[in-house]
Amino acid sequence: MTTETDTVLDVITTPEHAPKRRYRYHRRTDSGYWHTEYEWTGCLWRMVDRQKLSEISIHQEVTNDS
């Protein structure tokens, strides 16, 4: 059984002049996914935004740096 606490994917970014951000994607109990954005406060992650998604697609670009 899948619950809304089952994490699908976490992406953490470090902007040059801003606090770290965490983008979390996890399943909703009905259908689809939650996309939740957090900001690092120095002690904990603070939720900034949350939205419903119908699906997630992940693409990775590969470059040839020779």
> Tens digit of pLDDT for each residue in 4-13?
556 689 999 9
Average pLDDT, the chain: 88
- Extended strands (E) in the chain: 7-13, 21-27, 33-40, 45-53
Residue 59 lies in a domain: no
List, for residues 49-61, the tens digit of each pLDDT value.
Answer: 999 999 988 888 8
Residue 26 lies in a domain: yes
pLDDT of res. 62? 81
Count up the domains in the chain and report the number.
1
Host domain of residue 26: 1-10+21-54
Question: What are 33's two structure tokens?
Answer: 């996914």
Instruction: Reply yes or no on whether the pLDDT at 40 is more than 90.
Output: yes
pLDDT of res. 3? 54
